[in-house]
Structure 1
Amino acid sequence: MIIEQRRRNLGGGMEVGRVLPFAKRRMVGPFIFFDHIGPLNLRAGVDHSVDVRPHPHIGLSTVTYLFSGEIMHRDSLGYELPIRPQEVNWMTAGSGITHSERLEKARAVGDHLHGIQAWVALPTADEETAPSFSHHEGSDLPGWSDAGVHGQLIAGSAYGLTAGARTHSPLFYVHLELEARSTAEIPGGYGERAIYVANGAIEVGGERLVTGQMAIMSQKASSVRAIQPSTVMALGGEPIGERFLFWNFVSSSEDRLRQAREDWRAGRMKLPDADDREFIPLPDSPLKTPPAMP
């Protein structure tokens, strides 16, 4: 299966390519959300409307990974720090957290923003875990180079390596930079896997994939070949069961989603101390039950 990104304007000129969830494939292992941010050139003095104002999450971990640019993170646990290229902000919402994502560097001096934001659904037993945040760089994100393939492990375990972020279920998430005509092995041993082309063109299983396309890999597929210099994200893990999704909330229980909806509407979720003057209101869309996984 090949999934095409669907471009979404988030306001203020901020564009993303929505990949997951997709109507015919809502998850890959525990990965339930996958957005391609940009690429976007931002001039100095860019309007505040491009910022992502404080908003809530439950039942998931978010992971922001940038190829270029900078985003300032602030959350209700008190963490406040920028994320830069080839670093990881791993935020586990669990029972509930709020955060904002501000483009303060772009506002000051301009920026070229390009990256991926993914959500990892938590196993049922961990959905109400205490919220937490961790920042990772350097040795927490093991890297390697071999025969034209330059890799960095973002999360989980693959290639005999383990990244620093604490995960709650078996998974892998990898950034690969491929030189033209190089071949990269994709980790095996996981129930579900996918690859996404953030830039360039590759071949996998006889199929050509280009920028903005995700391929769900069969169990037999084991490698990809770069047709030209390419940036590829490889991801996967073990399925954790059906999840319901409403706005920024993920849960195995529709009742829990309704509770989160009412908590946010009633102002019962704490805003970040350093960013509590505004927030994103609850959307009016009704809760919807997603179709069953194929």
Structure 2
Amino acid sequence: MSISGGAETAATTIELRIAPRARDLGGFSVRRALPDDRRQMVGPFIFYDHLGPARFAPGQGMDVRPHPHIGLATVTYLFDGRILHRDSLSNVQEIAPGAMNLMTAGRGIVHSERTPPEPRAAGQRMLGVQSWLALPLAHEETEPSFQHFGADVLPVVEDRGMLARVIAGAAFGVRSPVETLSDWFYVELRLSAGAAAPLDADYEQRALYLVDGAIEIAGERFDEPQLLIFKPGAAVTVRAVADARMMLLGGAPLDGRRFVWWNLVSSRKERIEEAKRDWREGRFPSVPGDAEFIPLPED
């Protein structure tokens, strides 16, 4: 990737700005940027939550009981704190900062997300992002799976105040080892004050989520958490006004609209209705070691 010059303005570079909406997940607040009334997806990204920052006192923690997914893949990415992932494939994985955790639901998976015992006893700070990626039509009913890659195996590019960890896809001249079912990318980008980095048009749909700090794009300053969706083909350079952390994301447009209800995603409304019945009637697999569950919400 190389930094591109030119007389771009924010109006010619940014297609849409989305301020995330606050959501309460039962004592734990998140900010949700996708889906939005004006935009359902960026590439396959159909759901985007900013977790925290939050501080759990000793003895407290996050407890997301077992719940189902279909038709999507989830990525949990942390900056601070730890989460214990359990799923119906018998995977038990402690998610740590900088690691990539890709759970592909396909035809159906159940998982829970809780604070591990040691951080729960000591208390911890939590900050991260959680996203869902809708699966292509050919893979909506694929076998469920889980991939974990520690921070030490994901490629990192450092240059003059820039640090980019390539979580999925290709960026900054390197490629992540993560296997994906469609063409998408995901990058954690950190810039020191005064440093700059490009976001070349390698993918048709691209966006930036500002986690913290302050940045400037095409002469306009941004210093609140928000999702900036760029125009296809636009040359984008991000400059840090103050130390900043952000996520770069996007990919090829997905093959058609998706329906979303609770934790279920599908190209067909009747498939979601089927999954609702299966969860209500106990036909999804259970999570070994975690006997609780979240009941099906009222319509």
2:261 corresponds to: 246
2:171 corresponds to: 158
| Structure 1 range deviating more: 91-100 or 217-226 | 217-226
Identity %: 49
- Residue 204 of structure 1 and its aligned partner are, at CA, apart by 1.5
Secondary structure, aligned partner of 1:227: strand
* Whole-angstrom distance in 1 between the partners of 2:220 and 2:191: 17
**2:239 is equivalent to residue 225 of structure 1:** yes
Q: Contact between 1:52 and 1:101, CA under 8 Å: does it hold in 2? A: yes
Structure 1 residue ranges without an equivalent (≥5)? 286-294
1:148 corresponds to: 161
Q: Contact between 2:80 and 2:126, CA under 8 Å: does it hold in 1? A: yes
Q: Contact between 2:201 and 2:234, CA under 8 Å: does it hold in 1? A: no
2:184 to 138, 156, 171: 171
* Whole-angstrom distance in 1 between the partners of 2:175 and 2:260: 29
Q: Contact between 1:140 and 1:165, CA under 8 Å: does it hold in 2? A: no
2:287 to 257, 268, 272: 272
| Structure 1 range deviating more: 245-254 or 155-164 | 155-164
* Whole-angstrom distance in 1 between the partners of 2:200 and 2:108: 32
- 1:204-215 to structure 2, matched below 5 A, reads 204-215=217-228
1:17 corresponds to: 31
2:113 corresponds to: 101
2:41 corresponds to: 27
* Whole-angstrom distance in 1 between the partners of 2:176 and 2:129: 17
1:67 to 79, 82, 88: 79
* Whole-angstrom distance in 2 between the partners of 1:216 and 1:208: 15
2:97 corresponds to: 85
Q: Deviations over 1:88-125 (max 9, x none)?
A: 11100000000000012432110000000011111000
Structure 2 residue ranges without an equivalent (≥5)? 1-15
Amino acid at match of 2:46: I
* Whole-angstrom distance in 2 between the partners of 1:187 and 1:248: 33
| Structure 1 range deviating more: 72-81 or 188-197 | 188-197
Q: Deviations over 1:252-288 (max 9, x none)?
A: 111111111111111100111111x210111112xxx
1:4 corresponds to: 19
* Whole-angstrom distance in 2 between the partners of 1:211 and 1:140: 31
- Residue 7 of structure 1 and its aligned partner are, at CA, apart by 1.1
| Structure 1 range deviating more: 65-74 or 199-208 | 199-208
1:53 to 34, 41, 65: 65
1:259 corresponds to: 274
- Residue 206 of structure 1 and its aligned partner are, at CA, apart by 2.9
Secondary structure, aligned partner of 2:53: strand
2:202 corresponds to: 189
- Residue 139 of structure 1 and its aligned partner are, at CA, apart by 5.2
* Whole-angstrom distance in 2 between the partners of 1:224 and 1:51: 36
